[in-house]
Chain A
Amino acid sequence: MDTQDQHGRTRSSSAAPAGKPRSRRPRGLRPRGLLVAAAAAALTLTGGLATPLNPAPQQADARPAQAKDDGKKTLTVAVAQSVDSLSPFVAQRLLSTSIHRLTYEYLTNYDAKDNHAVPAFATKWEPSADKLTWTYTIRSNSKWSDGKKATAEDAAWTFNKIMSKEGTATSNSNFVTNFKKVTAPSPTKLVIELKKPQSTMAALDVPIVPKHVWEKVDDISKFNNDKDFPVVGNGPFILSDFKVDQYVKLKANKNFWRGAPKFDELVFKTYKDQDAAVAALRKGEVSFVAGQPALTPAQANGLKGEPDIKVNNGPGRRFFAIATNPGARTQDGKKFGDGHPALLDKRVRQALFLSVDRKTIVDKVFQGNAVEGAGYIPPRFSDYTWKPSAEQELKYDPKRAARLLDEAGYKKKGGKRVGKDGKPLDFRILCHATDPNDKAVGKYLKEWWGDLGIGLKVNCLDDVSVPWYAGEYDLAFDGWSVNPDPDFVLGIHTCAALPEKAKESAATDNFICDKKFDELYEKQLAEYDPAKRAELVKQMQSWLYDSGYMNVIAYPNAVEAYRTDQIKSLTTMPSAAGNIYGQDGYWSWWSAVPASGKSSSDGGSSTGVIIGIAVAAVVLAGGGALIALRRRSTAEDRE
């Protein structure tokens, strides 16, 4: 995968697909020292923000979600992720793609109830008899925020730009590889001609950008869309301001065709530390804490007792898996990286997974806020989810794991498994230093695999993307958010996703390249019958499961919380019981209704200030006294 995301690569297909929530984050290795220092500084800073000492700046830049003096209603969302890029051609992270969902229209959207495709920029879509030509009717009542009409011409220009591959296909290439030609015969008609049938035509998660603005951009591959605010768009919100790692501000689009959002402003405010975000929620400085990473059980339990706070615990879109390095290689077969050779043996991979007790991880690490892992696609997507049969299932069975290792030639000698070359079996696992679950699961793995005689070094990095892209890992904690259409998360395991040059970033997740899997992928992409396609998708998952390359441990729930005295209601997705942040559509924020009540946070923060000042004064006085004493006592020594 890509390492691209921080908590998520999200883009993808559909709506935000994937988030790899846990994915590797893009910061570079070399600058890691600096970054860590910066991170530490950020931590101290955010920590500072959360303390009572510092409420003032907070309010200055992102107003709490509530009615202010001028009557503007602001919804503030605390997010942990940073924006990778605001350009729809480049962005991959969940936060960035969620912002694109809100600021640009896509051809189709997903129904909040059951994820079926519903009209958005297109009101109607239909294939020709040979299934190779799709005609979309474009709505005529959508306007760009600068007053120009949004037409099929914009959509055609966007798709052609991505197809041109001038560095513009980073995030959406899986949709267009099959496209032959995209034209706009009239302002309300878009025609896409395909080389082969493609089943994702009603789920093209591509933000349509305004041609008249973007054609003036010199180099789209390097343009991050963060220079001129407000950014011209036609979604329910307009991107109005952005400061790296501080906030993204959106204002309501009053002319949105589906109706204007009820909040006037939507602010995504960065809190690198989840505890700081929770503290801000308690004080009413933010209205919502995004469940990515999910709130920990202790945080959720602590918030449950609070008045005016609702904890939403919905089934997640993500899977949490252990990826094993199958031997990194380029498209033309050149090998690179230093993955452990023992992992090339399927028996070793399966033995590792057989000795992982998924139930314990769900119970202990996630404390029930997750579903035990099986197939690749989370059970929330009931059409595509797959479960291994009883005999195929790799249940927790350390004895069978030991047998498999014996068969593979790794005998136990003095408590350690030793290969034929006499070297002990020791693996490294890449973990995200910022994800507590990685570290916690790492502790369990170390003990389980230790019992088996396998050594494990848990290698936690702030930015796993560098070793990941370089193929320098044995195992890695991996995870993606899955879209209603599974094409994207399956596509990242095909040979076509492999990097062209060694160590380059690429769409591949884990360097998997297998002929059978690729064939199935092609077939499902070309299959228009939903039931048959689902069957193919399940076969692919079965192959992945047996391969031992992607071992899904759990599907973590999205645990998030919001203030009911600031947000009266909002739509979850699926609407019965679902998540709020990082949905496949824009429903949650578009539908959010402000609460009329006044918040009580002001009193709280001023007492906070007083307490903070008092504490600071005591500390200073104490420190001063100490220094004075010390100076007095050494007075004679000083010259």
Chain B
Amino acid sequence: MTAETADVPAPQEPENTREPRLPKEAKSPRALAWTRRRHSAARFWREYRTHRAGVFGLAALVLIALAALFAPLLVGSDAQSVTEAPGEAMQSPSTEFPLGTDQFGRDLLALLVWGARISLTVGLLAAFLSVAIGTVVGITAGHFRGWYATVIMRVTDWFLVMPTLVLAIALASVMDRSIWTIVLAIGVTTWPTTARLVRAQTLAVESRPYIERAQALGGGHGHIMARHVLPNVMPLVLAQTTLVISSAILTEATLAFLGLGDPTVVSWGGLLQDAREAGAVSAGDWWYLAPPGIAIAVVALAFTLCGRAVESVLNPRLGVSR
């Protein structure tokens, strides 16, 4: 992820993003804003396309997301059922079961597809929660300086030095076993990086003259933060989100592997945990262990590639090739 205190570049002020070739006929301000947004999205995509790794990452993500979304159609909705399991226990890969079966005789390929749902959902939700907390903390800390910022940044520092996994394990084990617990545990333990990043950016934005102008015109705290600072830190937050997702998915898998997930839902980390408990490691049943592990790695990699590409599109100073 991005270095925490980096003074990140720059999000363009809204005024500057206006494209020179605006339509001549007069339009409502709303329509103007939309045109402008459309143009900048198109420009974003043009630049994004030039990052080959980013495109690969995106393609992989779209594929996996589609598979997860259409899991019931692709592999059947009873693939998770143990009572309807089609195979024998621990069968090695065959034409009927391309990835073999688990200890209940369920098709591992189908479980892998179903597991994508939980892993992606938890990863996304946890990342959004984490980034949301980080953004709120970062913007407020950057905006209201003084004792508030001091206190809140010390809290951030404290969370920053706490080992995330240990904290998440502690949280997950005192609460009920469900995916919401995992989302919460990841969300509330991984926000400090985002908070620091956003705060730095907020400080940079707030030092610009137009903020002073807005204040002179009577803009209150809420107005400044929501209408001027937030849009400017948004690109940064977006890039940060894509990067946090991959670590959230990894953390989710880790927690599930440690047995802190909901044992009745299938997730990739949970599959690894099931495999370990069934003794697949010592029995050498690689088809049970490898696919979930590879899937976790691929998704985490894909999100990282996308995040990197987004980051360098939004921040030309990072250079083009990576």
Contact = CB atoms under 8 A, between A and B. Distances in A.
Contacts of A459: 176-177
A442 B90 CA distance: 19
Interface in A295-310: 295-299, 301-303
A298 B283 contact: yes
Contacts of B90: 297-298
B2 A299 contact: no
Interface in A606-634: 633-634
B103 interface: yes
A40 interface: yes
B93 interface: no
Interface string B76-109: 0000011101000110000000000001110000
Contacts of A380: none
B31 interface: no
Interface in B1-20: 2-3, 5-8
B263 A279 contact: no
B82 A444 contact: yes
B264 A443 contact: yes
Interface string A32-56: 1111110010010000000000000
Contact of B284 (A34, A37, A302): A302
The dominant DSSP class at the B interface is loop
B166 A37 contact: yes
Nearest to B5: A639
Interface in A24-77: 32-37, 40, 43
A298 B166 CA distance: 31
A45 B83 CA distance: 36
B234 interface: no
A458 B264 contact: yes
Nearest to B177: A460
A282 interface: yes
A296 B166 CA distance: 29
B277 A439 contact: yes
Given A36-B169, A36-B173, A443 B6 contact: no
A302 B89 contact: no
B8 A637 contact: yes
A633 B177 contact: no
A302 B90 CA distance: 12
Contacts of A543: none
B82 A447 contact: yes
A40 B169 CA distance: 9
B301 interface: no
Interface string A525-542: 000000000000000000
A459 B263 CA distance: 9
> Which of B6, B277, B318: most chain A Cβ within 10 A?
B277
Contact of A633 (B8, B173, B322): B322
Given A364-B105, A460-B177, A299 B282 contact: yes
A297 B317 contact: no
A274 interface: yes
Interface in B306-322: 317-319, 322
Contacts of B169: 33, 36-37, 40
Contact of A442 (B264, B274, B283): B264
Interface string A558-578: 000000000000000000000
A597 interface: no
B277 A436 contact: yes
B104 A440 contact: yes
A458 B264 CA distance: 7
Contact of B276 (A275, A303, A458): A275
Contact of A637 (B7, B105, B171, B282): B7
Interface of A: 32-37, 40, 43, 273-275, 278-279, 282, 295-299, 301-303, 360, 364-365, 367, 431, 433, 436, 439-440, 442-444, 446-448, 458-460, 462, 633-634, 636-639
Closest 5 CB pairs of A and B: A302-B283, A299-B279, A436-B277, A637-B6, A36-B173
